């Protein structure tokens, strides 16, 4: 992980990580929207490429559209599925609270680990319950914070452990897009650094200090066939 040098923040988190620590990797970006059509159209208008249909998450009553960003990285647009019965638990990504006229936005990210149980124990943060999940033939374990809320405004990732033969991103259509960098903007980067340092994230994740009281947000810089494009929280667009 790399730290930005805004407002004097410049140390590398890897310096604080034990050599024996298990590394996590950025797995995917998450965009939410009140409808899948609205979220997909928003992402496509910014990136200039088409997303492809994903599938349904029956336990959460959600569905998604996807964009490959590499062999093991992708972008996900996710929304409530109006055709599915309301779930018995809160939907993830705060989708129970999304307004019908809300703008799509990049809300958080998900980090991949090979041992989700030991990673959550080692880092001693309340990532939430580890739950089994599926979409079609894909199965995985994922941390879901209480009430489906975000951790640190979405800056701290949810954790995922895939139980598949090959990463789902490798099965997506190649659109010539790659994640160049994920920027995290937050007024309390020191507290974030401790957790993200424990996770030992591999990949271009950069933190930037915001003034106290400002709302945290994320911006992903994605290389596309038409050049680099930035996609992030709606209030920053």
Mean pLDDT over the full length of the chain: 89
- Cβ neighbours of residue 113 under 8 Å, at least 6 residues apart? 22, 24, 119, 159, 160, 161, 199
Query: In this predicted structure, what is the pLDDT of residue 22?
Result: 65
Return the structure tokens found at 112: 């991949």
Give the 3-state secondary structure of residue 36.
Answer: helix
pLDDT of residue 235: 47
What's the confidence (pLDDT) of residue 126?
85
Q: 133: closest CA among 96, 169, 171, 160?
A: 160
* Spatial separation of the C-alpha atoms in residues 138 and 147, rounded to whole Å: 24
50: number of Cβ within 10 Å:
12
Q: What are the E-state strand segments in the chain?
A: 2-3, 24-32, 52-57, 62-68, 74-80, 105-112, 129-135, 138-144, 158-162, 178-186, 201-202, 205-209, 217-224, 227-232
Domains recognised in the chain with CATH numbers: 2-236 (3.10.180.10)
pLDDT per residue, tens digit, the chain (237 aa), is 444 433 333 333 443 444 434 689 999 999 999 999 999 999 999 999 999 999 999 999 999 999 999 999 999 999 999 999 999 999 999 999 999 999 999 999 999 999 999 999 999 788 999 999 999 889 999 999 999 999 999 999 999 999 999 999 999 999 999 999 999 999 999 989 999 999 998 778 999 999 999 999 999 999 999 999 999 985 444
Q: What is the pLDDT of residue 215?
A: 92
Structure tokens at 232: 């992030």
CA distances 177 to 44, 73, 129, 183, 218, Å, are 12, 10, 33, 17, 19
Q: In Å, how far are 112, 168, 169 from 143, measured between CA atoms?
A: 11, 18, 20
- Using DSSP bridges, classify how beta strands 105-112 and 129-135 pair: parallel, antiparallel or unpaired: unpaired
pTM of the complete model: 0.90
pLDDT attached to residue 233: 83
Residue entry with tokens 């208008």: 45
In contact, 42 and 106? CB cutoff 8 Å: no
What per-residue confidence (pLDDT) applies to 11?
A: 33
For residues 68 and 173, give the distance between their C-alpha atoms in angstroms, rounded to a whole number.
7
Q: What is the largest CA-CA distance in the chain?
A: 49
């Amino acid at each position: 992980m790399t730290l930005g040098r805004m407002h004097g923040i410049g140390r590398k988190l890897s310096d604080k990580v034990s050599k024996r620590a298990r590394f996590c990797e950025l797995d995917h970006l998450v965009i939410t929207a009140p409808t899948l059509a609205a979220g997909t159209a928003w992402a496509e208008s910014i990136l200039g490429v088409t997303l492809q249909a994903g599938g349904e998450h029956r336990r959460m009553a959600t569905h998604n559209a996807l964009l490959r960003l590499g062999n093991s990285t992708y972008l996900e647009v996710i929304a409530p599925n109006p055709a599915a019965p309301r779930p018995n638990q809160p939907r993830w990504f705060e989708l129970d609270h999304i307004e019908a006229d809300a703008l799509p936005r990049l809300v958080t990210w998900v980090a991949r680990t090979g041992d989700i149980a030991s990673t959550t124990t080692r880092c001693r943060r309340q990532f939430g319950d580890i739950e089994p999940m599926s979409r079609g033939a894909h199965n995985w374990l994922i941390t879901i914070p209480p009430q489906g809320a975000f951790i640190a405004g979405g800056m701290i990732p949810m954790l995922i452990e895939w139980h598949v033969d090959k990463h789902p991103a490798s099965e997506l259509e190649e659109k010539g897009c790659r994640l160049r960098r994920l920027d995290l903007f937050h007024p309390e980067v020191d507290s974030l650094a401790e957790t993200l340092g424990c996770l030992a994230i591999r990949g271009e994740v950069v933190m930037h200090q915001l003034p106290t009281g400002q709302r945290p947000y994320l911006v992903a810089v994605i290389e596309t066939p038409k050049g680099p494009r930035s996609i992030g929280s709606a209030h920053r667009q």
